[in-house]
Amino acid sequence: MDKKIKLAIIGTGSRGVLCFGKILSQREDVEIAALCDTNPVRAKHAAELLKVTDVPRFDSIDDMAKSGIELDGVIITTPDYTHCEMSKKAMLNNWNVLVDKPLATNVKDCKELIALADERKLTLMIGFNLRHHAVLMQLKEFIKNGELGRVFLAENREFYDGGRTYMSRWNRLCANTGSLWIHKGSHDFDIFNWLLDFPKIKRVSAFAAVNVLDADHLPFEKRPGVEPGPRCTVCAYKDECKDCFKISDAEKLLWQEDSIAVDGYMKDRCMYLSDKDVHDNGIAMVEYENGIKVSHLECFIGSRNDRLYTIAGDKAIAEVSLSNRTITITPRWGKGKAVTHTIPMADGGHGGADPALVTQFIKVIKGESSANSTARHGMLASAIGQAAELSRREHRMVDMSELLD
């Protein structure tokens, strides 16, 4: 296929523009054919940032469809709760879809999307960029080649300082995300499923809460008569608050006052005072039918940023740091014989995983490959996240038959 692939970006926020939009604009085989966002001012600024001011912009996916525009596919980066509706409408127009994780915020919607993609014979690919991270790809090869033997136990600990800003943005409400176990954790649950070759999920348990980012734990002393908030931009304590959310220079054009005036959406609400019903830390545990047990820790407090994996097999244990790009393998009977593999750096966001994800989607559209992160995979990751949120809210272990059968 020699012609340029025509793609539209639906959702012109930071992820849609500064990640996917930037990557697409640097490719010679792709054309950004349209931008779509319910906020026309933000879409206009997105076009300016991407230097595509001549492409059509639409206020809704319905308007884009009615225009008769010809597209090979769309990339959806709207808030999670809209993923089902956006993906459905895209496929009803026979457009291939790359939807940023999660596929949808509940299993019911995921099943509906899978059925439609099958019926229309369209690609519905999930933005599980970690699948394309060189370190995790190498880890999967070690597991596949038997370096660790029979895997029976695994864990992931994610420390993400930037995660505290979830409490400032739309992500802070479960109504928008299904929960952070789905919005954030679906990445990690998918990696477990993928590394372990998708064993059947048996049951899930989780504990989570807001223990730090609340009104009782402001990181500064309040002055008499001076209230903090409601936004970091205008807060009286912005110069002394160690968690002041400063929107980056690259993002400022998308999130300035003229955009806020359209829909009232502010990206920098005080993360301590905002209304929220998600967690700032938690632990989820998953048991598979084959007896493998995994745990996933999320911590959005602190200055550390890393995903740390431990995979235990009956021949060796692998310990992984994504930030350091290392995999250390210690043989079961090899004290002092641990070997550390350092994986070369790769260009692009998320350790080179973002551009690799886009490349895979383009290859699928061109017929050169098949989707490696399928809608069914997306459903399994969302299902674990949905079960984890049920568990933490209802204080019980959740059998996956409740959601998947």
Nearby residues of 302 by Cβ (< 8 Å), 6 or more positions away: 159, 161
- Return d(Cα 181, Cα 381) in angstroms, integer: 9
Helix (H, G, I), strand (E, B) or coil at 204: strand
pLDDT by residue, tens only, the chain of 405 residues:
468 999 999 999 999 999 999 999 999 999 999 999 999 999 999 999 999 999 999 999 999 999 999 999 999 999 999 999 999 999 999 999 999 999 999 999 999 999 999 999 999 999 999 999 999 999 999 999 999 999 999 999 999 999 999 999 999 999 999 999 999 999 999 999 999 999 999 999 999 999 999 999 999 999 999 999 999 999 999 999 999 999 988 889 999 899 999 999 999 999 999 999 999 999 999 999 999 999 999 999 999 999 999 999 999 999 999 999 999 999 999 777 999 999 998 888 888 899 999 999 999 999 998 888 999 999 999 999 999 999 999 999 999 999 998
Token pair of 56, please? Answer: 């059509």
- Return d(Cα 5, Cα 93) in angstroms, integer: 17
Token pair of 222, please? Answer: 């309040």
Helix (H, G, I), strand (E, B) or coil at 185: helix
